[in-house]
């Protein structure tokens, strides 16, 4: 009974603090100068947003995927003494085959070509 009372009081206090802080933190004045990008006191010459190369993003994602796969492949060298050599070779070859098939697929789709 006492713990549910304390829980209710804590819930009410924390909700009240969140509501009060939300109300007090609102900006009431929206100034055009404050909302514009700042360039040493001058008006900005161009757009604040630069065009983003989707090609670069795709190559970066492919790099991350292959980087994680290589990271998963590295511990294979440290367990060579703990497993049977045939199991170790089969596991390593299978993992490398999957890695090479993924690389071939990306190359075949043209995702690795930087410039058209």
Residue 71 lies in a domain: no
Range of lowest pLDDT (19-33, 39-53, 62-76, 77-91): 39-53
Question: Residue 102 falls within a domain, yes or no?
Answer: yes
Tell me, what's the pLDDT at 55? 80
In a domain, 89, yes or no: yes
Residue 92 placed within a domain: yes
H runs (alpha helix) in 1-116: 2-24, 32-35, 54-73, 85-109
**Confidence (pLDDT) at 12:** 96
Q: What is the pLDDT of residues 87-96, one digit of tens each?
A: 989 988 998 8
Give the pLDDT of residue 29: 65
Tell me the average pLDDT of the chain.
82
Q: Report how far residue 68's alpha carbon sits from residue 83's, in angstroms, rounded to the nearest whole number.
A: 23
Domain that holds residue 106: 84-110
- Number of compact structural domains in the chain: 1
In a domain, 96, yes or no: yes
Q: Please indicate, yes or no, if residue 88 is contained in any of the structural domains.
A: yes
> What confidence tier does 103 reach under pLDDT thresholds 50, 70, 90?
confident
Would you say residue 72 has pLDDT above 90? no
Q: What are the residues whose beta carbons fall under 8 Å from the beta carbon of 102, sequence distance 6 or more?
A: 65, 66, 69
pTM exceeds cut of 0.75: no
């Amino acid at each position: 009974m006492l713990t549910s009372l304390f829980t209710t009081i804590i819930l009410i206090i924390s909700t009240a603090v969140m509501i009060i802080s939300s109300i007090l933190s609102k900006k009431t004045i929206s100034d055009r100068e404050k909302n514009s990008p700042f360039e040493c006191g001058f008006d900005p010459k161009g757009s604040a947003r630069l065009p983003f190369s989707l090609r670069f993003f795709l190559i970066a994602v492919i790099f991350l995927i292959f980087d994680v796969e290589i990271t998963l492949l590295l511990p294979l060298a440290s367990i060579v003494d703990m497993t049977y050599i045939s199991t170790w070779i089969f596991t390593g070859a299978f993992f490398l085959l999957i890695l090479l098939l993924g690389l071939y697929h990306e190359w075949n789709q043209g995702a690795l070509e930087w410039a058209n």
